[in-house]
């Protein structure tokens, strides 16, 4: 199982990459790229949340 910090870091990176891709798609009128960016951004939010949940569970087990 990954460390919660690693999940949160990967989630943040995915969110940033997704937002950049989304904005690039919007600026170039490329709906495919914009949709991919939105999906990557959502994936990033999920990973970040997963890390936060792991932190909560880990702190509750002490």
Q: What is the DSSP string of 2-56?
A: --HHHHHHHHHHHHHHHHHHHHHHHHTT-HHHHHHHHHHHHHHHHHHHHHHHHHH
Does residue 62 register a pLDDT over 70? no
Predicted TM-score (pTM) of the model is: 0.84
Q: pLDDT for 17-41, tens place per residue? A: 999 999 999 999 999 999 999 999 9
* Angle, alpha carbons 61-44-38 (nearest 5°): 150
State the angle between helix axes of 31-60 and 4-27 in degrees (0 to 180), rounded to the nearest 10. Answer: 160
């Amino acid at each position: 199982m990954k460390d919660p910090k690693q999940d949160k870091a990967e989630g943040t990176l995915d969110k940033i990459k997704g937002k950049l891709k989304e904005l690039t798609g919007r600026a170039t009128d490329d709906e495919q790229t914009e949709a991919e960016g939105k999906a990557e951004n959502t994936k990033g939010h999920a990973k970040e949340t997963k890390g936060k949940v792991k932190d909560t569970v880990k702190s509750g087990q002490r």
